[in-house]
Every structure is written in C-alpha cells, then in structure tokens.
Structure 1
Amino acid sequence: MKQVKAVIIGAGSRGSGYALFQLDFPHRFKGPAVACADKGYHILLEKPMAVTEEDCRQIAQACERNNVMLAVCHVLRYHPPLMKVKELIESDVIGDVVNIQHTEPIGYWHFAHSFVRGNWREEKSSTFSLLAKSCHDLDLLRYWMGKHRCTQVSSFGSLQHFKKENKPVGAGSRCLDCSVEANCPYSAKKIYLDKVEMKYREWPINVISEIPDVESVTEALRSGPYGRCVYECDNDVCDNQVVNFTFEEGRTASFTMIAFTEKVCQRQTKVYGTRGEITSEGKGPVYVYDFNTNKTTRHDTATPPSGTHLGGHGGADHFLMDAFVRAVSTNDASHISTGPQDALASHLLVFAAEKARRENRIITINEDYTYQ
C-alpha cells in the first residue's frame, strides 16, 4: 500500500489517540469537515458527526459532492466481539433475529468525570448525552438488523441523581474541602488523586492536568471543574435513558444507557433468534446457544497486533485506523464500514429517539430517515 498524508484537526483525547497509529505504522503515512471535503480531503470524523441534524446532512452531502471518503468513528463497528455478533447473525446460526437487547454501562465515575464535571455535562455547550455517548450503540442496532429498517422509536430518560437536592448533608462545594468526601463514591480525590498516587498517568488523569503528578492534579481539583461536588455542577444531561425500536417485519430492539455501573463502557448484548441466542459481554469471546442441540458454542475474536500503541475500545481503535488508512491508500471505500449515508442514518435515528423522549411519544421513521 502507498503511504498516506494525514492532517489532524483537533488535538483532544480522540484526535491525539488516533494519531498513535502512525507510531506503529510509519510506513503507511508521511510525517472541519465540510471545508476539508470541499478541499478534496478524505475524512476520518469523530462521532458525533455534528450536534444538529442539518449539519450532519451537510457533512454527508459535502463528502458525496466532492467524491471523498468519510469514515465516521462509530468505532464499535470495528470492535472484534461486536463484529463477531454481526458475523454470527449473518451466518443464520440463530435463525431470524426477533429481538436485540443492548446495554451501555457508562460507569459511575466515568459519567461523573465526563457528563457531570466534564465537557459533555451541559447540552447548550455540547449536546444531549444519547448523541454524545451512545450514537455508537444506536448505530450498532441498525448495523445488526441489516436490511431491516427501523420504523418506530420511543424513549424515556432523565437526570435522576446528579442534582442539588441529592447533595449529602454536610457536603462541601469541592471534594478537597468536604467533610463527607470519604463516604462519597464520586469523590474527586478517589477518582483522580488515588490513581496518581499509584503512578497511573493515562485517561482521565491526562485530561485534567498536563503534568500528571500529585501537586498538579491537586491544584486542578482545587481550582478547576473536576474538583467540584457532583451535586453542585451545571450539568443537565440524562444519566439514564432507554430507547425502544420497531424494525421491519416486526423485529424489535431495546437500548439502555445507564451511568450507575461498575463496568465502564463494556457493552452487554443479547440477540434472540428463532433458533438460538447470541451473547456478548463486550470483550473476549462471543457465545451462541443452539435451541436444537441445547449446546453453547464459544467463538473467539481477533486482537490487535501485540505491542501497538493504539489499544483503546478493546482494540477497535486500531482496527478503525487500519481500515481507514487501507481505504485511502488503495482508493477503496469498501474497507470503511461507516460511510456518509450509513452514518447519517444512524445519527438521524439518535435525533428521533431524543425527540421521542422530549415529546413523550412514539416517532415514526420514514424511509429516508426523516421522521414524524
């Protein structure tokens, strides 16, 4: 494959993370979306594509108009266990899919970090949590259902816990000055300082301080947003949400996003078919139970090459970058699983689900993924 020239726009956690791929495969390189498409650049775009429907549509249109490749980072499509789920569904090993149940356990401290104290806490400055965190997951449901289009969606959810009225008696405004901090699971001292004292230097420590030592992190907690009491922040996004779907031929699916979990982003999936079940715990092997034989079969999944820098999302970050670089270097978009119209349809489904939640009604999805 020929080498690829790459420009990284935005050096946040995801942009700087994906750049690590070049350290592992330098021979495959040399050392904002609509504008880049108009300049003829192929684009690897972090999800969400944009925070409005119109902007999402414009990005997809610009890429198609300029005949450039767009790979939206629905990274879970490249996650080996979840790819295995897709492979097993298409192999007909469980017959016709009747229902899918899919859960994203965000993790109690992860939610506090990102969606209570962090950058995605407030809708007006970022977006609603279903789009920011879980457009991955609604994309997966469409992906697994294949040719069967979603026809209706409903949703319920709220900001349940991280509110002023739930602040413990005697709690301070900052964790470093709080008399009840030791009994709070969302203590910033526990989430950040304890990790630093154990010499941990990666995310989320590297988000709150450029120098990940005890002194710098302590100062960041004393004066910055990540040291605030979770019950006194300006957050307003949902900490729990369920979404229900009807697909063509009466197939159904449900998705749960929940903050209050031990596991961090380790998705749990059950696919119920007419001849068996598929179970994935988000990492490791995938299991198939066969109704005819009453036996369970284990299916192992791929892992990224050993020693690579890019190991996030269970290796999916590596496989995503590998697919995009391969597509660009060979001028073959078939390597990309999340092209313009496919990614757009998934984003529009997220907007429809949130509309259903806000308006407390069932939304009907049209063939072009507009809705009513």
Structure 2
Amino acid sequence: MSSPSPQQQKRVVDLIVIGCGNRGKNYARYTKEHPDQCRLVAIAEPRKYVREWMKEIYNLNSECLFNDWQSLYSYLLEFQKDHDLSKDENKRHPPFLDPTHEKTVIICTQDQYHVEPALAFASLGFHILLEKPMAVKAEDCKRITKAVEENGVKFAVCHVLRYSIYTQRLKEILNSGLIGNIINIQHLEPVGWFHYAHSYVRGNWNNEQTSSPMLLAKSCHDIDWLCHVMTPHKVVQVSSFGSLMHCRKENKPEGAASRCLDCPSSIEEKCCYSAKKIYLDTVKAGHTGWPVSIIIESGEEPTVENVSQALRDGPYGRCVYESDNNVVDNQVVSLQFDNGATCTFTMIAYSKEICERKTRIYGTLGELEIIGNTIHHFDFLTQTYKKIELDNEIPKTNLSGHGYADYYLMKNFIDAICENDSSKLLSNARETLNSHLLVFTAEEARHSSTVIKVNDHVDLTNVNSSPPTVSCDSRGSSNSKCELN
C-alpha cells in the first residue's frame, strides 16, 4: 500500500495566542481537545498572573511566555535574520516552533490593537485567526486584507455566527427554496441590560474613541451574518439611526453617589444597574464566573472581599450615569440589496434576553422565524406552521459559546490549515473586509443622517501593508521591552 502524498498528509499546527483574555483562553482550549491537530507553543500577554496560569495549564516553558506581541515578533525576526545570514534551516525557527508544522497565531488583543500584530505575523507567514472586529479604522482593515493576500496565509476573523449550527441549517433551508425568494429580513440583537452596563458603560468597549463604535464592537458579526444569509446578493445602499439615550449624567437620580457602594440604599435598591446587584450580590450567591470574574484583575477567585475592593476602586463600581461612556444604546441599520430585497438590523441594550438574537425572514412562499437556536417555518400554500429540527448532536467540547459556534469556528480554521483547504473557512479576507466597510458606512450614515450608496469593489493597490518596525532594549527574548517605531 503506497504512502500518502505530501498533499494528502494532514498537517499539524503550532499555535501562538496573543492576548489571553476570555476569548484567547477560550480558543486555546481547542489544543487540549485536539492534540493530534494542534498544540499551543507560546503566548504573548501583559498580565503576569495570566502568563503563569497559561504556563501551568498548557505546560509551557518560561521561554514561551512573552510580555507583549512586540517582544515575540522581535524574537522571531532574530531567527529569520540568522537564517538569512547563515542559510542554516535549523536557525529559521525558535525551539518552540517545529519547522515541519504550520505556524499559526490567534490575535485577541483589544480592538484598537489588532492591526499591527496582524501585519507583523502575516509578514512572517503565519496563518491568522483574528478576533472581531478586524480593526477600528477602514484603512487598517484594508491593510490587513492586503497583507494576508500578499503573504498567502490563511485568514479568518472570529465572525462566529457564520459557524453556528442554526446558521448552517438556515443556509440549507434558504438554498432549498423552501420560502422562495427573500424579500425582507428583520434581525434583532438584544444585548441585555446588565451585559450592556458591564461591557459598554463600565467596561472596555464603552467609548468610541478608546475602543470602537457599538456597531463595530458588538454587532459587526450581525452585519456580516446578514451579508452571509443574503449571498450572492450585495448591499447597494445603507442608512442608520442610533443614539445614547439612558446612561447619561442628566439621567442620574437625585442624591445618587458616584459609586454604587456609596449610594443611599433608598436609591440603590431601585436601580437595576447597581454594581452591587450585578457583582456583589452575584458572588454572594456563589456565582464566580462572567461577569464577576472579569473585574478581579489579580486573577484570583472572586470573593465578597476582593469584589467589594474592585467596586470601591475600579471602573466596574462606577455609577452608570457617571461613566465616560459614549457608545449608543440603540441603533437601527437599514440595508438594500442589489435584487431589491431589504434588511433591518436593530441593536437594543435594554432587554431581558442576553444576546439571544431574533430573526424573521420573509420570502415569496413562506416565512421563517429564528429565536436563538430555534427555527420555525410558516408555509403560505398549506398555511401550516412547524418547527424545523436542528442537528441535536452536541460536540464534546468546552467551547460551547455562541451555541457551539466557537467550537465550529476553531474546528473549521484548524481543519483548513491541516488539510490545506481554504473552503472550510466560511468567509475570506475580501468578504470580511466588505462587511466591515459596510459597518463603517453605516456609522457614517448615522452621523450624517444620510442614505449612502455602497461600492463593493475595493482597490488595495495603494494601501500600505508593510509590517510595523519594532525596537527592543535587547535582542528579542521573552522579557524584552519593545515599542513600535
């Protein structure tokens, strides 16, 4: 029996994670579940306690722990320079990278810090999985797209909604013609009142200038999902309206304190956004996961004592009416497609449901209603209403987020590399770029109160995709101090 050809042999992935927050840790778990396909070989993370935790969980050597991506990038560049000088293939890779494996990086830094590491690692030939959004500026999205295309690396942004079980089933239904031609889609994302207060009033994504607009930070994968559902049709016009209505200084109750722990009980008891209710009462009830775990910067297990301290000193204890937030709490985006079909997307902060999306799709032969992971169909001809069953087989994984879409995203990404099959990625760099540009256009329409025509053709000829220049205080190593020039 003949041995498989190099094209038939499955590859193995050496994985680096940059930014080991919730998302970075989540995706890294895949290596534990599929050690035959991939292994975590290094991390870049500024928080020492997180580095030490990852070191213990994934059995990493100290030489595989980097303070930031710049130190890691500089370290890898030194090996490349040594190889170029000596032509010794053994000097091309550091000890933690197997030269027979595929080099891959997952970038999960904060939104505004995506572009530089993406450009840097694309230039080194790393396949890239990039947390959403691609970048916070349209030009930077173009730079990343050009860089991954020029370097021929596999690339995906974590638009997890494309990979969910219900989306896969929905695409099959729509492609079968069950409801005829799509005329209109209504898509709602309810963020959830305490989720909005946690992440978008007190948290990392509360300010457009220091992070990104709400539509980009929270809902760029909803806009991408609508484009995916409507494929092959393209958006030709967009408009948008939205505002920050409630969590504003003028709405602060009279007599309320600047911090929830200092607020008079007569006021705090009536406030559903109270940090005391969201965090302190939650940990008292024995719940130590998200969102409580996020506010303890030391990485310790949340307790009444350290949660109380975090609320006294940190941003999560601030009154929601006195934070530095400016992202919208409600927004509507209207899309018109090239075949005349229309879509409306609504994001609302204040809801009972936490990110349980609701969608209605109206076709010429029937309609679909999707709530969470449930799809219902009404047929115009028979006037019957039925539930469409999804695949009930639950994968054996800890990556259960977004209805197991986190798992299927990682599976498809790693499979695409191991099998050298880009078709396993449900969007390419250009498609991702176009859906991001649509978000930027919607924001422009919101700020200008106009309807804007969309040009789907993007010329990247004059876009600068050069990697950043990094200087370090010593020859690239895990504890170097580096900065961008």
Percent identity between matched residues is 50
CA contact (8 A) 1:82 1:282 kept: no
How far apart, CA to CA, are the structure 1 residues paired with 2:276 and 2:12?
Answer: 45
CA contact (8 A) 1:121 1:235 kept: yes
Please, which runs of 5 or more residues in structure 1 have no aligned partner?
Answer: none
Residues 231-289 of structure 1 show CA distances to partners (whole Å, capped at 9, x for unaligned) of: 00000111100000110121000000000100001110000000000111022x31111
**Counterpart among 334, 347, 355 of residue 244 in structure 1:** 334
Look up the equivalent residue of 1:367 and give its one-letter code: D
CA contact (8 A) 2:184 2:341 kept: yes
Which residue of 1 is the match for residue 269 of structure 2? Answer: 182
**Counterpart among 296, 308, 324 of residue 397 in structure 2:** 308
CA contact (8 A) 1:150 1:248 kept: yes
Residues 55-110 of structure 1 show CA distances to partners (whole Å, capped at 9, x for unaligned) of: 00111111110110111100011111123222211111000000000000000000
CA contact (8 A) 2:11 2:418 kept: yes
How far apart, CA to CA, are the structure 1 residues paired with 2:392 and 2:125?
Answer: 33
Q: Does residue 1:367 correspond to 2:456, yes or no? A: yes
Residues 298-340 of structure 1 show CA distances to partners (whole Å, capped at 9, x for unaligned) of: 2222357455211111111011111101111111111011220
Which residue of 1 is the match for residue 319 of structure 2? Answer: 229
Which residue of 1 is the match for residue 16 of structure 2? Answer: 7
**Counterpart among 158, 171, 188 of residue 103 in structure 1:** 188
1:366–1:306 CA distance, 2 compared to 1 (3 A): closer
SS in 1 for 2:18: coil
How far apart, CA to CA, are the structure 2 residues paired with 1:304 and 1:275?
Answer: 30
Look up the equivalent residue of 2:248 and give its one-letter code: K
Look up the equivalent residue of 1:23 and give its one-letter code: K
Please, which runs of 5 or more residues in structure 2 have no aligned partner?
Answer: 1-9, 41-116, 460-485
Which residue of 1 is the match for residue 433 of structure 2? Answer: 344
Residues 7-60 of structure 1 show CA distances to partners (whole Å, capped at 9, x for unaligned) of: 001112111111112222222212411111111111111000000001001111
Q: CA deviation at 1:2?
A: 3.6
Look up the equivalent residue of 1:295 and give its one-letter code: T
Report the structure number with the largest CA radius of gyration.
2
Q: CA deviation at 1:198?
A: 2.1
How far apart, CA to CA, are the structure 1 residues paired with 2:351 and 2:330?
Answer: 11
Which residue of 1 is the match for residue 202 of structure 2? Answer: 117
SS in 2 for 1:20: helix
1:30-41 map, 5 Å: 30-31=39-40, 32-41=117-126
1:352–1:166 CA distance, 2 compared to 1 (3 A): same
CA contact (8 A) 1:244 1:252 kept: yes
How far apart, CA to CA, are the structure 1 residues paired with 2:238 and 2:342?
Answer: 10
**Counterpart among 341, 355, 369 of residue 279 in structure 1:** 369
CA contact (8 A) 1:303 1:315 kept: no
Which residue of 1 is the match for residue 247 of structure 2? Answer: 162
Residues 154-204 of structure 1 show CA distances to partners (whole Å, capped at 9, x for unaligned) of: 000001101000001221111111111111010111111122122222211
SS in 2 for 1:278: strand
1:20-99 map, 5 Å: 20-31=29-40, 32-99=117-184
Q: How many residues were matched structurally?
A: 369
Look up the equivalent residue of 1:157 and give its one-letter code: G
Which residue of 2 is the match for residue 258 of structure 1? Answer: 348
CA contact (8 A) 2:275 2:311 kept: yes
1:142–1:18 CA distance, 2 compared to 1 (3 A): same
How far apart, CA to CA, are the structure 2 residues paired with 1:303 and 1:328?
Answer: 27
Look up the equivalent residue of 1:15 and give its one-letter code: G
Which residue of 1 is the match for residue 69 of structure 2? Answer: none
SS in 1 for 2:153: coil
CA contact (8 A) 1:44 1:70 kept: yes
Which residue of 2 is the match for residue 328 of structure 1? Answer: 417
Q: TM-score, normalised by structure 1?
A: 0.96
Q: TM-score, normalised by structure 2?
A: 0.74
User: Once superposed, what is the RMSD of the aligned Cα atoms?
Assistant: 1.3
How far apart, CA to CA, are the structure 1 residues paired with 2:227 and 2:458?
Answer: 12
Which residue of 1 is the match for residue 473 of structure 2? Answer: none
SS in 2 for 1:7: strand
CA contact (8 A) 2:185 2:359 kept: yes
CA contact (8 A) 1:157 1:240 kept: yes
Higher relative contact order (CA 8 A, sep 6+): 1
SS in 1 for 2:269: helix
Look up the equivalent residue of 2:135 and give its one-letter code: A
CA contact (8 A) 1:85 1:280 kept: no
How far apart, CA to CA, are the structure 2 residues paired with 1:297 and 1:244?
Answer: 29
SS in 2 for 1:8: strand
How far apart, CA to CA, are the structure 2 residues paired with 1:289 and 1:18?
Answer: 38
CA contact (8 A) 2:11 2:417 kept: no
**Counterpart among 259, 269, 281 of residue 194 in structure 1:** 281
Look up the equivalent residue of 1:118 and give its one-letter code: G
Residues 124-164 of structure 1 show CA distances to partners (whole Å, capped at 9, x for unaligned) of: 11011100000011001111111111000000000110100
How far apart, CA to CA, are the structure 1 residues paired with 2:274 and 2:171?
Answer: 39
